[in-house]
Structure 1
Amino acid sequence: MRVRLATWDDIPALPQIERSAGEAFRGTDQAWIADDIVAEADAYPPLIEAGGVWVAEEDEVVAGFISTQPVAGAFHILELAVGHDHQRKGIGRALMDAALAEARRAGYRTATLTTFRGIPWNAPFYARLGFELLDAPPTVLAAILAEEAARGLTDRCAMRLAL
């Protein structure tokens, strides 16, 4: 497996990976996510241009990605997605490691994200990486959670990691 910054050529694969990753939600109380819309390819060029997207290749196939952007002075994880057939192989961890290493190199003091509280490969996964649940998220993260709730994403939480 190889983790690298995403290029323009990777863009068509990213929505497909997100859709495939959604299959893991089948059989959970968030099963509808498997059939929900995903980010369109045109969402990624600004993130790639800013150096905020990494991909993981397995056998020369893009198997997962992480997208990030600065939010209120923090290194914010927008999305971590690993294709369904590539899950449970350490790809998500490798992507997080690469992105967080860049955040540290760039001088960020914190990383943030929002995620599902009760889905085992969401909040519990991030907690194992050192992220802490924010009982009272700052205004910007509270606003993100409110936007997610308006889209039907329930049982969400905000988390932060000191870098």
Structure 2
Amino acid sequence: MLATDTPQLPQFDDSMSVLASYLQSGLNERIQQIYPGVVAVRNTACYNSLPRDLSSFPLLKVYRNVDTFTPTGNTTQAVIGYCQSFPEEERIPGILRWVAKQINFLLREWAIAHKECSPRIEYNEEFRAEYRVMTLNSEPIYSLLQFNFQLMEDNLYE
């Protein structure tokens, strides 16, 4: 086997990347209708990263938490993390709840539009949103919306 024939690790998670782009576009389009000039999502990450500083906010993280593999595909417990700085959250009160409701709508819209595609999300699936405050030395740093959902993918033999 030549060195060039060595299997390469993927540079990113295709399914998470597609969902992150879809959600970023949808959230940014929707917030423009309410708050022109405001960005709902500035950056995305497809892994559970810790933000280095607040300049990446508002940050949308879409990543896998648990994969269950079967011979025909896999089921993933996935997480959407939405990080917002306190100054921005105070400027737009209720932004985390608004984002949670929009993510719910966008994932159900995805379920209808991509019913026969991979990754699939079940329309009637129960989604769960959790709201947290991230602290450092007991000082609040940023707010975090953690949105949990499940998706299915076809067999991924690669």
Structure number with the higher strand fraction is 2
TM-score, normalised via structure 1 length: 0.30
Structure number with the higher helix fraction is 1
Radius of gyration: which is bigger?
2
